[in-house]
Amino acid sequence: MDPQPECDGSWYVTAMERLVGAVQELSHARDLEAVSAIVRDAARGLTGADGATFVLREEGQCYYVEENAIEPLWKGRRFPMETCVSGWVMINAQSAIIEDIYSDPRVLVDAYRPTFVKSLAMVPIRRASPIGAIGNYWSEHRRPSAEEMMILQALADTTSVALENADLYTRQHDMLRRLQEQTAQISDQHASLAVFTRALAHDLREPVRTLISFSELVRNKARNPEKQETYLRFIGEAAERMGVLIDSVGQYTGLDNPDRSGRCTCQLADIVADVRQNLAYVIARKDTSFVIGSLPTIVADPAQMRQLFQNLFANAIIHNAPGVTIEVDCNVVDGVARFTVSDNGAGIPQGKAEEIFQPFSRLVANNESTGLGLSICRRIVGLYSGEIACESAPGEGLVFRFTLPDAVSAQCVVSEEAVARESEPASVLIVDDREADLELTQIALFERSGLRCRVQSASSVEEARERLAAPDEAFDLVLLDINMPLSDGFELLRAMQADETMKSTPVIMCSGSDHSLDRTRSAELGAEGYLLKPPRFADFREILTRLPNLHLVDETKGMTLARAPRPLTSALAD
């Protein structure tokens, strides 16, 4: 074996200079990656070793975080504490010197055999309750001197402090980030409270006043009997304005604590098709046309994306004369979707491009607008770390540009036309004992919206059982009333879940009551959703987007609720 090296004064001075340099670098390290890189290089340079490793204790194992060596060692690998020298050093809280690795029982020989290592030295990081170890390795038999071990241990002691500082810095940074997030959330909540207060104090007063005034005139039929129909129309319009405003305020305040669990892969071409269907009446009334470019598939909340595009489209339609054209386009640059929604309408005055995003901002009087639509757009875009801005000049239309950096873009880009494909219309069974409710459901969900599919009805649980069990019937969706005589909807839902032939058929529970216990029980029994009667198509559509066996196909004149096509392998198997 080689004799123990003699450490002269010049070596010691050089080593101390290197140690001081490493200590200074470690004092500035702010994370584990920086600490490990400094230790990896310093540990080898201090002793002139052929290799050095930086090892951390991690859940009962030795994790080889970093290395600097003439040949690869074990970077990234983990070994049980009891089977390797670094583990022995940490368990016993003392250094180890092994001149011949093949003659020491502490060495996991199989791990060393493929390497250049013949001798090694290891010191613990933190002498009390070690959290790691630093190793030196030589390609020849060698026993490091006491001075070399002292220098190596000094580096390990400094590393312990650096790791604690890095951990403290990381925790402080995380705390600061959480504090900033909480501050932003509080600011958003204050803004929402201001919006809510404004709605109560001002914007709701006008339709309420209208309702009260004209209701009084309707009750007093002796006055102006020929205007009764006009008064009723005013009452209906005021009630509609109240409903729209309440919905808008709810949408705005609902973005204070968004639920990220709703994010999924969604095709924006489908989203835009849904929005056009939802706005079909006003699009036809205002003779609006669309030019839709290629739209990407992204990871986002479909409901938020629908709200975003619907507000932008509605803004262009409502505030312009009939015949406006809306163009939608998107470019994906470096994985970030950059969108443009523009129109060829009247535009807005110079200097107003930022004002239109403020809550309740209206540049012109318009009873169809709540003044919250574009504010909601900005909040939605902000949820994806994006920005939205408006460009315009009088007579040149509006151009909205926005990004959605957090909406991870998929590789494929699909056009609106590409997703419109022929599929078999779905069969829907509505179960309700009240004839009036059956009629209202069909009108609200299918006739008024123009949603095409095969709709059938049953007026009792027993009739529904027979229809569902019939061999020549195949229903894709059941709309099930809760409160019915003899047997209620929960009983049928429970029976369907227990029947292998019916359990895969999705069920949406319907009720005139918004009782939380009914909603909870519906979910526990396996219902896919809950609709409050009379149902709204927007709520129905939201549930449909979550059903894998159904999809909405946008067509030239309306939309079809279709059975989702089966995978090719299943079709071939049949």
pLDDT digits (tens, 9 = 90+) for 304-319: 888 889 889 988 888 8
Identify the residue whose tokens are 């600061």. 176
The CA distance from 352 to 359, in Å, is 14
pLDDT of residue 360: 67
Domains of the chain, start order? 9-171 (3.30.450.40), 263-419 (3.30.565.10), 427-573 (3.40.50.2300)
Question: Among 66-80, 92-106, 137-151, 260-274, where is mean pLDDT lowest?
Answer: 260-274
Tell me: the pLDDT tens digits for 394-434? 778 899 999 988 875 444 344 444 344 445 788 999 999 98
Which of 24, 345, 360, 1 has its CA nearest to residue 162?
Answer: 24
Q: Are 511 and 540 in contact (CB under 8 A)?
A: no
Q: Is 486 left (phi over 0), alpha (psi -120 to 50) or beta?
A: left
Q: What is the mean pLDDT of residues 114-140?
A: 94
The CA distance from 81 to 279, in Å, is 65
pLDDT of residue 118: 95
pLDDT of residue 419: 41
Mean pLDDT of the chain: 81
In DSSP terms, 68 is beta-bridged to 52
Question: Among 150-159, 310-319, 453-462, where is mean pLDDT lowest?
Answer: 310-319
pLDDT of residue 236: 79
Encoded amino acid at 270, one letter: D
Angle of the 32-47 helix axis to the 146-198 helix axis, nearest 10: 170
Inform me whether the pLDDT recorded for 534 exceeds 80: yes
Q: What's the order of all strands across the beta sheet hosting 451-452?
A: 451-452, 558-563, 550-555
Q: State the pLDDT confidence band at 171, using cuts at 50, 70 and 90.
A: confident
Question: Among 225-239, 271-285, 354-368, 506-520, where is mean pLDDT lowest?
Answer: 354-368
Q: State the pLDDT confidence band at 447, using cuts at 50, 70 and 90.
A: confident
Q: What is the mean pLDDT of residues 157-166?
A: 89
The CA distance from 374 to 388, in Å, is 10
Rounded to the nearest 5 degrees, what angle is found at the Cα of 397, between the Cα atoms of 395 and 403?
155
Query: Longest C-alpha distance within the chain, in Å?
Result: 121
Which phi and psi (to 5°) does residue 16 adopt?
A: -65, -35
Which of 52, 65, 64, 58 has its CA nearest to residue 22?
Answer: 52
Q: Are 122 and 148 in contact (CB under 8 A)?
A: no
Which of 317, 326, 329 has its CA nearest to residue 373?
Answer: 317
Higher pLDDT, 573 or 436: 436
Reduce the secondary structure of 15-52 to three states and give it as a string: HHHHHHHHHHHHHHCCCHHHHHHHHHHHHHHHHCCCEE
The CA distance from 329 to 143, in Å, is 70
Inform me whether the pLDDT recorded for 10 exceeds 60: yes
**How many helices and strands (H and E) does the chain possess?**
18, 22
pLDDT of residue 417: 41
Strands (E), 408-501: 409-414, 427-431, 451-452, 454-458, 477-481
Which of 67, 546, 458 has its CA nearest to residue 263?
Answer: 546
Rounded to the nearest 5 degrees, what angle is found at the Cα of 321, between the Cα atoms of 315 and 322?
100
Contacts of 570 (CB under 8 A, 6+ apart): none
Identify the residue whose tokens are 């005021």. 238
pLDDT of residue 145: 92
Q: State the pLDDT confidence band at 570, using cuts at 50, 70 and 90.
A: very low
Tell me: the pLDDT tens digits for 27-74? 888 888 899 999 989 999 998 999 999 999 988 899 999 999 999 999
Q: State the pLDDT confidence band at 178, using cuts at 50, 70 and 90.
A: confident
The CA distance from 277 to 557, in Å, is 9
Reduce the secondary structure of 381-402 to three states and give it as a string: HHHCCCCEEEEECCCCCEEEEE
Instruction: Decide: pTM greater than 0.85.
Output: no
Higher pLDDT, 371 or 520: 520
Q: Are 335 and 408 in contact (CB under 8 A)?
A: yes
* Percent of residues, the chain, with pLDDT higher than 70: 81
Which of 568, 531, 566, 523 has its CA nearest to residue 548?
Answer: 566
Question: Among 190-199, 228-237, 274-283, 337-346, where is mean pLDDT lowest?
Answer: 190-199
Q: What is the mean pLDDT of residues 370-399?
A: 84
Inform me whether the pLDDT recorded for 101 exceeds 70: yes
Query: What 8-state DSSP symbol labels residue 203?
Result: I
**How far is C-alpha 500 from the geometric centre of its chain's CA atoms?**
34
Question: Among 262-266, 314-318, 409-413, 478-482, where is mean pLDDT lowest?
Answer: 409-413
pLDDT of residue 14: 86
* Percent of residues, the chain, with pLDDT higher than 90: 33
